[in-house]
Amino acid sequence: MKSFWDDLPKPFFILAPMEAVTDVVFRHVVKAAAPPDVVFTEFTNATGWAHAGDRAIGGRLVKTDDESPIVAHLWGADPESMAKLAAHARELGYDAIDINMGCPDSSATKSGGGAGMIRTPENAAAIIAAAKTSGLPVSAKTRLGYTYIDEWREWLAHLLRQDIANLTIHLRTKKEMSKVPAHYELIGDIKQLRDEIAPHTLLTINGDIETRADGLKLIEKYGVDGVMIGRGVFHNPFAFAPDAEAAKTPAKLFELLHLQLDLYDKYQSQMNRPFDTLKRFFKIYVRDIPGAAELRDQLMHCQNTDEVRGILASVELFVD
Ligand SMILES: Cc1cc2nc3c(=O)[nH]c(=O)nc-3n(C[C@H](O)[C@H](O)[C@H](O)COP(=O)(O)O)c2cc1C
């Protein structure tokens, strides 16, 4: 099936799915800073949605019409529910579905979802097939294995046989969580496997890649198709810019914080997220200036966006 995946630049850069982070608000902030080629939503549970509807998934699938290409990142171990939520994602205007097969949290694995799929490969195939009934292109994001690194060959070969549009690999096992460096040494062998089994499936690497420039270095060495960046945007929201370090001035960071406050107010009624969820973002923007720690501390005591704006107004004359 032809889709936006076929028309992406090579290499392409993806904003990683991050729970309670890559919602409609923060995706717009990253886009304003330096746009990735593709964005993923936070992970959204199919079984919950199939049973309880939108109440079960909050604002996780809220998006705007101009967000494209945008991929609905879904998880769950029940094919019927997956088919239903994938069809709903299509109705909402999503361009594609990505299945989470890497989340290490027991809340996902205990029901066979997330990284639990690595242990139930036949169900993983059934979940992909179910998502495909939506008519949207389907991709998967996974890890090298559940417990041991050398699980990678069998597991990834199985996924590559499922005729998926893209395979993103977070280059660690479930057991490794994020505690060891990503296994870049395996990229070459994984690419060879992809070339043998499914040359039409795009291959995206993920793990410890901070910026576009870092990604390009890996691409130069290994020649995969795409790079996914997650936590890099916490350290530098301009991570997708050609020169991320130069782009990150204190004044521009403040502008982004204002944008995030404005967008939070705009989408709050649809997202229904408490104000406190904004606080984890302050450290992204308030840094590299004298008194940053004190300023962050003041912001952490705010109760609403206007209080944050008030405090920022008292300091930003001095920020350039
Ligand atoms: C706060 C946070 C939330 C995350 N949520 C998800 C998620 O919902 N689905 C998923 O597949 N991975 C999730 N991840 C993992 C990231 O997508 C990514 O695979 C991981 O952070 C490694 O990439 P990085 O080093 O570029 O951050 C999350 C990571 C973080 C830090």
Residue 8's pLDDT is: 98
Residue 314's pLDDT is: 87
Instruction: Note if 103 is an active site residue.
Output: yes
Catalytic-labelled residue, pool 103, 165, 263, 312: 103
Domain total for the chain? 2
Domain boundary among 238, 266, 289: 238
- Tell whether 230 and 88 lie within a shared domain: yes
- Tell whether 64 and 199 lie within a shared domain: yes
pTM of the shown model: 0.97
Structural contact between residues 137 and 96, judged by C-beta atoms closer than 8 angstroms: yes
Q: Whose CA is nearest to atom 1 of ligand 1?
A: 18
- Tell whether 13 and 153 lie within a shared domain: yes
Written as one string, the DSSP assignment of the chain is ---GGGGS-SSEEEEPP-TTTSSHHHHHHHHHHS--SEEE---EEHHHHHHHTHHHHTTTT---TT--SEEEEEE-S-HHHHHHHHHHHHHHT-SEEEEEE----HHHHTTT-GGGGGG-HHHHHHHHHHHHTTSS-EEEEEES-SS-GGGHHHHHHHHHTT--SEEEEESS-STTTTSS---GGGHHHHHHHHHHH-TTSEEEEESS--SHHHHHHHHHHH--SEEEESTHHHH-TTTTSTTHHHH--HHHHHHHHHHHHHHHHHHHHHH---GGGGGGGHHHHS-SSTTHHHHHHHHHT-SSHHHHHHHHHHHGGG--
Residue 269's pLDDT is: 93
What is the Cβ-side half-sphere exposure of residue 175, based on CA atoms within 13 angstroms? 8
- Tell whether 184 and 35 lie within a shared domain: yes
Residue 54 located in a structural domain? yes
pLDDT in tens, 56-107: 998 999 999 999 999 999 999 999 999 999 999 999 999 999 999 999 999 9
Residue 251's pLDDT is: 93
CA of 145 to the centre of ligand 1 (A): 16
Range of the domain at 314: 249-318
For residue 73, give the ligand 1 atom closest to its CA: 9
Instruction: List the CATH number of the domain containing 160.
Output: 3.20.20.70
- Tell whether 83 and 230 lie within a shared domain: yes
CA of 53 to the centre of ligand 1 (A): 25
Residues 6+ apart with CB under 8 A from 224: 11, 187, 191, 203, 204, 205, 218
Q: Which residues are registered as beta bridge partners of 98? A: 73, 139
Residue 143's pLDDT is: 98
Q: Whose CA is nearest to atom 31 of ligand 1?
A: 231
Domain boundary among 191, 206, 238: 238
Residue 320's pLDDT is: 66
Domain boundary among 238, 262, 292: 238
Residue 1's pLDDT is: 79
Residue 244 located in a structural domain? no
- Tell whether 268 and 230 lie within a shared domain: no
Dihedral (CA of 133, 135, 136, 138) sign: positive
Residue 243 located in a structural domain? no
CA of 18 to the centre of ligand 1 (A): 5
- Tell whether 183 and 296 lie within a shared domain: no
Residue 317's pLDDT is: 61
Residue 111 located in a structural domain? yes
Q: Whose CA is nearest to atom 3 of ligand 1?
A: 18
Structure tokens at 179: 């505690």
Residue 132's pLDDT is: 98
Q: What is the CB < 6 Å shell around ligand 1? A: 16-19, 21, 42-43, 73, 100, 102-103, 141, 170, 206-209, 229-232
Residue 228's pLDDT is: 98
Residue 319's pLDDT is: 66
C-alpha–C-alpha distance, residues 129 and 25, integer Å: 31
Structural contact between residues 7 and 40, judged by C-beta atoms closer than 8 angstroms: no
CA of 178 to the centre of ligand 1 (A): 9
Structural contact between residues 239 and 18, judged by C-beta atoms closer than 8 angstroms: no
pLDDT in tens, 228-271: 999 999 999 999 999 999 999 999 999 999 999 999 999 999 99
Ranges under pLDDT 50 in the chain: none
C-alpha–C-alpha distance, residues 62 and 270, integer Å: 7
Q: Whose CA is nearest to atom 18 of ligand 1?
A: 230
- Tell whether 15 and 91 lie within a shared domain: yes
Please give the distance of CA 287 from its chain centroid, rounded to a whole number. Answer: 24
- Tell whether 261 and 218 lie within a shared domain: no
For residue 206, give the ligand 1 atom closest to its CA: 23
CB-based burial label for 233 (10 Å; 0-12, 13-18, 19+):
buried
Report how far apart, in Å, the C-alpha atoms of 263 and of each of 64, 114, 182, 257, 298 are: 12, 30, 34, 10, 21
